[in-house]
Amino acid sequence: MGPYGPENGFCATILSQYDPQLLDRFKLEMSYGIERFFLLSYCLACCWPGLGAKSELRIVRQWPELEFVFPNEQAYREATDKRYYVPGNSVPIDVDVHHRQGDQKSRIFITIPRFDEGRPMTLGTVDDTGRVSAYPDYSWHENQGQNCNGFTSVFRIAIDECNRLWAMDTGKIGDKDYCPPKIVAFDLTTDNVVYTHIVNASSYIPTSLFITPVVDVRKRGTDCSDTYVYVADVSGFGILVVDVARNRSWRITHRLMFPYPSRGTFTIDGQSFDLMDGILGMALSPLRNNGIDRDLYFHALASTTENVVPTSLLRNESYLHDSNADPQSIKVFAEERPNQAAAEAMDRNGIMYFGLMEPPSIWCWNAATEFSPRNFHQLAVNRETLQFASGVKVVNNLKGEQELWVLTSSFQRVMTDTLSSNRINFRIHAEKIKALIENSPCKNSPKERHGSHRYHANLITPSRGYKSGTYKYGAVSYL
């Protein structure tokens, strides 16, 4: 009897007839439960020892629980006494990287949203030993919502091509409002604040929680003034648009930004939880149409669909007066992912990267092809290390190469209150994109697509503009 059961020889014979790319496709088909692949599914589960173990991403940092650097012993004692710091309570959500010139080391940034008490800092840098230091300094974090000039709770960040770090502060700890939401930009050369926008009360609702910023820069030489920031409102089901040059913002809402009730249950590593989160994952395409527009791709966490909208529509200031988008102005792709995804990012060649919940894995999709499972290609899979990819970033290094950075966590244990410091719970992964996709079909664009017509989204996105009218996107009418 072989080490994987008596069926091993039979399965090996079947599997040897397929190349690895076909097997990857068959595994994806199996996630849909297609009966004609039942036998192959059985063989893969019983006889393929490598299934669920492959990962082409390198682990850069990992923790059972986060450890922090406090400025002094007094600050540590005060944080402990006030329960601003509770060991084991901190959960990292996002990652981004700043590569610096000269002898300065690159900096890894992570965010730690304040879901509850015990998170001493909400945005920090990670040192070589994995310890987290507050960014830009501890004074921004120590008052835990009592100082609205500092940070209350940051879910995600974005570093743009102009060497600026953008942090979206929700203003909330748990469900309690402490401060108005605001977005802050730092010059990473000096770590000084270069921009702050406090969101006007007309641009959000009581349930709003702004968690994912993406930055749209139309750079002219060294001039970075033409900048917009689009921010996902995960529980207000909308997008906040920040016009940086004019220091104003508006809200846009649409039915595709809502969660799908049938997709609100998540199962990871055998543990299930319910989370009815709306729009969360967002990614910007490269500039197209001769450099005058981009597409914003987005999806709700509780969904398996992907949606797309031209940024020229988002930038229309008519939404200052009416946040409800024309129902036909934002499109959903006809086909869907096999299961839910959290964060996503797109590189300069229009290739999107995202994680799937089951199996825990990282995938790519070339936006020149149809959004369809047959065009999704697996880059890495590991049931233990790639659970819940909540942070996905494409980072440009100093050599002009692009890197993929991913933060994963045992989020199912957070949600089910079964987190244990006896095992690794959080990881940061990275790899150069060229190496990741070297042998991937994602590198190949259809020959008939080129120039401004190469994106599949062009086939479904609407004419530019805004149509005024009365549209309702309340939870009652949606459900």
Secondary structure of 41-64 as H, E, C letters: HHHHHHHCCCCCCCCCCEEEEEEC
Report d(CA 323, CA 319) in Å as an integer.
Answer: 5
| Count of structural domains, the chain | 2
The answer as to whether 3 is a domain residue is no
pLDDT given for residue 292 in this prediction? 83
- In a domain, residue 81? The reply is yes
Mean pLDDT by 10 residues, the chain (479 residues): 39 44 48 39 37 70 97 97 96 97 93 96 97 98 94 98 97 96 98 98 95 95 94 97 97 96 95 97 90 93 97 93 91 96 97 97 96 96 97 96 97 95 96 94 72 62 55 42
- How far is residue 317's CA from residue 243's CA, in Å, rounded to a whole number? 9
pLDDT recorded at residue 444: 85
Same domain, 43 and 68: no
Residue 2 placed within a domain = no
| pLDDT the model gives residue 460 | 66
Regarding whether 71 and 28 lie in a shared domain, the answer is no
User: DSSP labels for 371-406?
Assistant: SSGGGEEEEEE-TTTSS-EEEEEEEE-TTS-EEEEE
Q: For residue 107, what is the enclosing H or E element?
A: strand 107-111
Do 175 and 30 share a structural domain? no
The one-letter amino acid code at 216 reads D
In a domain, 352, yes or no: yes
Same domain, 349 and 374: yes
Inside any domain, residue 28: yes
Is 281 in contact with 212 (CB distance < 8 Å)? yes
Query: Domain check: are 39 and 135 in the same one?
Result: no
Residues 32 and 113 grouped into a single domain = no
pLDDT for 34 equals 37
Q: Are residues 82 and 121 in the same domain?
A: yes
308 and 295 in a common domain: yes
- Is 36 in the same domain as 72? no
**pLDDT of amino acid 6:** 37
* Domain-embedded: residue 58: yes
Same domain, 285 and 393: yes
Count CB-CB contacts under 10 A for residue 193: 13
Is 438 a domain residue? yes
Q: Are residues 39 and 163 in the same domain?
A: no
CATH number at residue 125: 2.120.10.30
Vertex 106 angle, CA 186 and 133, to 5°:
65
CA angle 466, 331, 280 (to 5 degrees): 100
As a whole number of angstroms, the distance between CA 5 and CA 12 comes to 12
Print the domain residue range for 39.
8-12+16-21+23-47
Place of tokens 């709770």: 153
- The predicted pLDDT at position 432 comes to 97
Residue 1 lies inside a defined structural domain of this protein? no
On whether both 271 and 210 belong to a single domain, the answer is yes
Contact 126, 90 (CB under 8 A): no
Mapping DSSP to helix (H, G, I), strand (E, B) and coil, where does residue 125 land?
A: strand
